[in-house]
Structure 1
């Protein structure tokens, strides 16, 4: 009994308990921020909030017309994230609840690592939040983090197919996780569709190989292999629902984005986005990516990585020193123990790195958040496993790794003045007071139908004039374009909001 008492209160268990408490406090603080603070970021009010509101009828189409370039995005962009954001908003009647989709995506990847890789929840939570962009996006309405989490789960489950024994790898649980995560990733961000196809090929090849080997050994018949045909067909309809819909209705899988195939330009409404500062614009894309992940002359840490200096804008966000630490740790683990797990981890990272580095706009890291999440996840798994098997030095423990990650996390929250990890009490009322002109509202009579004219380039502000946000007036308005003239309003009374 005395021995058990000492074991419970050993220094190692005390450290684990302390880390668990710290992780829990941080997670609770993040949840409070997500549910209290309105996300005032550009894209949130440009299209994430409007899309979510229209899908759930919170602010329907007849109550707020999108201007053309926004309407075509609504037609062609994946709307799975908007669906869940709108669901949280609709169920709670609280616009800040839309932030919870990002928050729960962070929780999801931590639970996944616990379930599939036995990584302690406190370790993954602290390690992921030490990545600046993960911490920043976890309480926002941007969809980069949820898409990255789903793609990470797809990639890591495919990695498991290659490192596990035949029976452990080829089971319906793994196949279901692969198909569901692929469908979620592809229907959250169009940019992830080619990457999903790429990883699915690896997963399919491995599953077919495992089943073929089982047939050769007499452990299964051909029906086990043939069942994949209808499964792949049905799953493809779900995974590629957005591109298939776009092909059917618009003749372009990536509509409304400009795409060119064999010299033929497909139907589009928006040019392909490209941006790079003068200092890097002539570099090969892979070199741009390397400069960005190591944060060589990068921008400050914020949600979209904008900087007043165009040569630093849209770069960084992974914390260069943290990237170096994780790469060195992975290399060290491989040197300590060459096994299917460690060599498979290196192979996975190399393949994903080559593909990501050469992807369009790969230097804008928020679009490819999965790369850093995968790197951190692999290290967490390998340390957890090798420590359990006593195959690495005693100093390399999950608790010690988490302590190091906690130091990086402390640096991040200090440099960002804690603004992304605790509530700032920036409520909807404060947001409307900032962006809505009281003088314009005073011109509107309760129940009146008016025409709002906005010539400002900040067209996202227009949405804040929706009568949903001003129930005391309960007015209707017509607005069909970012730039309008009073003459276009017809007989409706004009209210200028610029």
Structure 2
């Protein structure tokens, strides 16, 4: 109660000051300064916004309003501060001599403000990646880090075995991100798995560099605009592979976009970048293989059209043969995991069960259908996707944070599981902005509009499309196009309101709402070592460790997703073998655990 009362008291003082300034009767400042402030009404507006934002603190406390009401207060306070900064900066030459420190602050222009903010956010996320294990996200410990550790020999198969259904995925499915994670983990040492976080972080930095080079989008704008999306912000310091996968796919889409804009775009560098992006996407997650095939088809059609209608007719046969052989080689590289599995296991998506035209491919795992509640399953695919995009029914009080990377922390069959994650207001803002920018009829807007329409028609029908983290390329590309087209629009119009810096401020407001509502847990670099993570909240039970040391091998049932924490490599001086298993019926557990003694989680 004390803090809301103090905020209210400060709000009353600020309101009184703004009133006297407006009347030109504020006796604590010289008359000439009072006149300047009276003439500059933006100062009065800014002060009143700040006062109103502070006053709402008491209103929220008395009426027990949280959540969206808190976000409203943040927006009002930020707007008030911006009004003050902008208004005072305009009159700085008319004000009395100010200390250099205050002058420097007031003279910071909009671009510099955005650059400073972007630098702080990126620095926070980099440091967080280096000092904190991915303690929030369950899949990290269930199979991402275990795959990485097993591949690089940090943990041997004798020391840790996956669940019976998980083991076939090792070395057969798309493991590129885990190989990269294991590399950084190997460099950092067995007790510092946070090194694996760098894969996601560096992939995003790579994308910023890519669009700066190809689309001339300033770093500060891309950083703020893209990191304002909650799922991307969270993924940037996690061991989930979705960000790397979607960055790779987004790169192929941007290269395709430029290919449709420029007739002289085909060269070794651009082809190599496309192959690299495709290789990352196809070898990081099976889910993006089908849409990637579609992208390659559009690339093939475009190049074929250029050969027939734009390139030298005398070289037509040579160019067609070059295209065919290049496409064949590029596809083998891009879909390397799928080709390998097709040759070895007669199934490009091994070990998953897939059926094409009634033919059932070799498999060992049938994908689970337990991830959809009856309500979600009853919706049409596009309805599910739109509800998730607009976060309709997405939020759940059972979650410790408003947003999580998988929108989980609820039962798998909950209506809220997997729904949302892009921040609905930000999605709507970007859609409206994109529609406005596409009013200008030129090749850049036409091709961008065509790509967004195709993405929007295809994405909802992909598997589990309502779980937005799997297909983050949609929001990444939408924001990228907005930045690119907005920069072009501003160069032509010099619009006062529709300019890139204002987009940046919108991104800051959205990001700060997200950051504050999640208590800075996904942003601020609070250290979290492996030992601290294991010891907090009794994540590792010493009694279980003692039993494992005594029996030398055991099957841990029901410890998912943290079974991996019990492997002996994490416990100095210990040497035993652990097998992980899910909670099934007693007979099924005994069958999967084999001869190993079974330890159930209490």
**So what's the TM-score if we normalise by structure 1?**
0.90
SS at match of 1:280: helix
Does the 8 Å contact 1:452/1:497 carry over to 2?
no
Is the counterpart of residue 115 in structure 1 residue 115 in structure 2?
Answer: no
Taking CA–CA contacts closer than 8 Å with sequence separation of 6 or more, which of the two structures ends up with the larger relative contact order? 1
Cα 1:488/1:334, change in 2 over 3 Å: closer
Cα 1:224/1:437, change in 2 over 3 Å: same
- CA–CA distance in 1 between the matches of 2:176 and 2:160? 21
Is the counterpart of residue 477 in structure 1 residue 577 in structure 2?
Answer: yes
Quick one: which of 236, 250, 256 aligns to 1:152? 250
Cα 1:471/1:393, change in 2 over 3 Å: same
Deviation string 1:278-326 (CA, Å, 9 cap, x unpaired) is 3332111011101110111113310111254712221000111101000
Does the 8 Å contact 2:345/2:362 carry over to 1?
yes
Matched with 2:463 is 360
Does the 8 Å contact 1:102/1:139 carry over to 2?
yes
SS at match of 1:460: coil
1:4-83 to 2 correspondences below 5 Å: 14-40=109-135, 41-83=137-179
Does the 8 Å contact 2:557/2:580 carry over to 1?
no
Higher Rg of the two aligned structures? 2
Matched with 1:420 is 522
Deviation of 1:437 (Å)? 1.2
Does the 8 Å contact 1:450/1:494 carry over to 2?
no
Bigger mean CA offset, 435-444 vs 75-84 = 435-444
Matched with 2:502 is 400
Does the 8 Å contact 1:259/1:272 carry over to 2?
no
Cα 1:225/1:33, change in 2 over 3 Å: same
Deviation of 1:13 (Å)? 7.1
- CA–CA distance in 2 between the matches of 1:488 and 1:340? 61
Deviation of 1:438 (Å)? 1.4
Quick one: which of 415, 420, 438 aligns to 1:334? 438
1:127-142 to 2 correspondences below 5 Å: 127-142=225-240
Bigger mean CA offset, 370-379 vs 309-318 = 309-318
Cα 1:495/1:372, change in 2 over 3 Å: closer
Cα 1:76/1:183, change in 2 over 3 Å: same
Cα 1:495/1:307, change in 2 over 3 Å: closer
1:137-216 to 2 correspondences below 5 Å: 137-164=235-262, 166-167=263-264, 169-216=265-312
Cα 1:496/1:317, change in 2 over 3 Å: closer
Cα 1:12/1:322, change in 2 over 3 Å: farther
Deviation string 1:187-244 (CA, Å, 9 cap, x unpaired) is 00000000110011111211222233344466x5643442222222222211111112
Is the counterpart of residue 436 in structure 1 residue 540 in structure 2?
Answer: yes
1:312-327 to 2 correspondences below 5 Å: 312-327=416-431
Does the 8 Å contact 2:281/2:288 carry over to 1?
yes
Matched with 2:569 is 468
Does the 8 Å contact 1:413/1:421 carry over to 2?
yes
Is the counterpart of residue 383 in structure 1 residue 486 in structure 2?
Answer: yes
Does the 8 Å contact 1:101/1:141 carry over to 2?
yes
Cα 1:451/1:497, change in 2 over 3 Å: farther
- CA–CA distance in 2 between the matches of 1:24 and 1:479? 44
Cα 1:488/1:350, change in 2 over 3 Å: closer
- CA–CA distance in 2 between the matches of 1:488 and 1:105? 38
- CA–CA distance in 2 between the matches of 1:92 and 1:487? 34
Does the 8 Å contact 1:69/1:270 carry over to 2?
yes
SS at match of 1:479: strand
Quick one: which of 554, 562, 585 aligns to 1:452? 554
Matched with 2:182 is 86
Q: Which residues of structure 1 form unaligned runs of 5+?
A: 1-5
Q: Which residues of structure 2 form unaligned runs of 5+?
A: 1-92, 94-103, 396-401, 584-588
Deviation string 1:3-54 (CA, Å, 9 cap, x unpaired) is xxx9xx9999722112111101110100111111111321111110011011
Does the 8 Å contact 2:556/2:580 carry over to 1?
no
Cα 1:477/1:347, change in 2 over 3 Å: same
- CA–CA distance in 2 between the matches of 1:13 and 1:217? 56
Does the 8 Å contact 2:308/2:316 carry over to 1?
no
Matched with 2:99 is none
Is the counterpart of residue 271 in structure 1 residue 373 in structure 2?
Answer: no
SS at match of 1:133: helix
Cα 1:29/1:70, change in 2 over 3 Å: same
Aligned residues: 481
- CA–CA distance in 1 between the matches of 2:500 and 2:297? 33
Ranges of 4+ aligned residues in structure 1 off by more than 4 Å: 9-13, 480-490, 492-498
- CA–CA distance in 2 between the matches of 1:400 and 1:258? 48
Cα 1:404/1:459, change in 2 over 3 Å: closer
- CA–CA distance in 2 between the matches of 1:439 and 1:37? 26
Does the 8 Å contact 2:160/2:577 carry over to 1?
yes
- CA–CA distance in 2 between the matches of 1:190 and 1:12? 51
- CA–CA distance in 2 between the matches of 1:287 and 1:200? 28
Does the 8 Å contact 1:38/1:428 carry over to 2?
yes
- CA–CA distance in 2 between the matches of 1:357 and 1:369? 12
- CA–CA distance in 2 between the matches of 1:453 and 1:258? 27
Deviation of 1:405 (Å)? 1.2
Is the counterpart of residue 302 in structure 1 residue 368 in structure 2?
Answer: no
Deviation of 1:270 (Å)? 2.3
- CA–CA distance in 1 between the matches of 2:457 and 2:301? 20
